[in-house]
Structure formats: structure tokens, C-alpha cells
Amino acid sequence: MKLFEAPEGRGPYGIAATPDGEVYFVSLAGSYLARIDRDGGEAEVIEPPTKNQGARRVWSDSQGRLWISEWNSGQVSMCDPRDRSWNAWRVPGDNPRVYAVYVDERDVVWLSDFGGNAIHAFDPRTEKFTTFPKSQEGADVRQINGRKGEVWLPESGADRLVVIRTDRTE
């Protein structure tokens, strides 16, 4: 095992690998994205355009673009590491608090929203959100995962698991 200091000294939070094997993480406290040099272990900070956005989680799509949930800004952002370009979209609702992010096999981006007590599916092709309200207040989905045709949501605040069958939502 090797240990490496986080750049800027604080807040490593979510981590993901791209299809080509690159490893990235986000910092909640530092509000940045970083790429880990797999040989030396050093991390290169990639500053997002939104300051103090509170990056919580990161997930790669099939093209290697990185999708980041932003707690403080209420946005989902996307960084394309190939050209370091960024885009961001505000999540629907009055006070979105975006926590978890997951990208399914269709490259649809799934987000949990503590502020709206909802799950949002964002289609990058149309730039439209579909919202799935939670049936119980304070569901608090902190991580999302899935497999082909399914998105799994552990509701830590409601003590239950939810599955959305995506082959039935189209």
C-alpha cells in the first residue's frame, strides 16, 4: 500500500475510473477535480469553473467524460478531460443539493437531490431532466449504482433500497 497526500491538503471525497483506466477524484472541501498519475501517485488538480461548488461524487460515462455532483451550487457538471472543457446544468427545484451521481449504460446521468428529496435522470443528448420524487421525506441517497436496465438507490435516511428499471421508463 502507498499513501499520497491530497493536493491542497483537504477533502478527497468521490472517486472514479474512466474506460481508458485513468483515475480521478473530487474534493468536497476543496471544490476541485483531480487526476491521479497512476505511476507516481501525484494528483493534478483540474479547477472547475464554478468556485466553491462542493463536488461530492464523480462518475465517468462511456466516452471518458466526468460527471460531477455539486452540493453547494445545485448543479451537475461535466468535464471532458481530453480538452479540459466544462459544462454545467442546474438541477430542477428550489434548493437542489446534489449528492450522488451515476452514469448508466446509455450514458444517462442519475443524481440524488437532498434539497428536492428526489432522483433526477439527466439525458446529455437532449439536456433534459426527468424527476422521480421520493415517496418518503429524508430518503438521503448518498451513492447510486446499477447494472444494465436498473438503477439502484440505497435510501440511508429511509432504511430501504429502491430500484428504477430503466428499460421500463423509456
- Say if 170 falls within a structural domain: no
Contacts of 168 (CB under 8 A, 6+ apart): none
Residue 94 placed within a domain:
yes
Q: Does residue 61 lie in a domain region?
A: yes
Q: What's the confidence (pLDDT) of residue 115?
A: 95
Residue 38 belongs to a domain: yes
State residue 79's pLDDT score: 98
pLDDT of residue 36: 93
User: Is 134 within 8 Å of 116 (Cβ atoms)?
Assistant: no
Residue-wise pLDDT tens for the chain (170 aa)?
777 788 876 778 999 999 999 999 999 999 999 999 988 888 999 999 999 999 999 999 999 999 999 999 999 999 999 999 999 999 999 999 999 999 999 999 999 999 999 999 999 999 999 999 887 899 999 999 999 999 999 999 999 999 999 986 54
Q: Global pTM?
A: 0.94
Residue at 144 is within a domain: no
The domain in which residue 112 lies consists of: 7-136
- Give the pLDDT of residue 1: 79
Q: Tell me if 151 is assigned to some domain.
A: no
Smallest CA-to-CA distance from 66 within 41, 101, 106, 92 is with: 101
Separation CA 74–CA 6 (nearest Å)? 25
Instruction: State the CATH number of the domain containing residue 99.
Output: 2.130.10.10
Please state the domain count of the chain: 1
Residue 44 pLDDT? 93
Residue 53 lies in a domain: yes
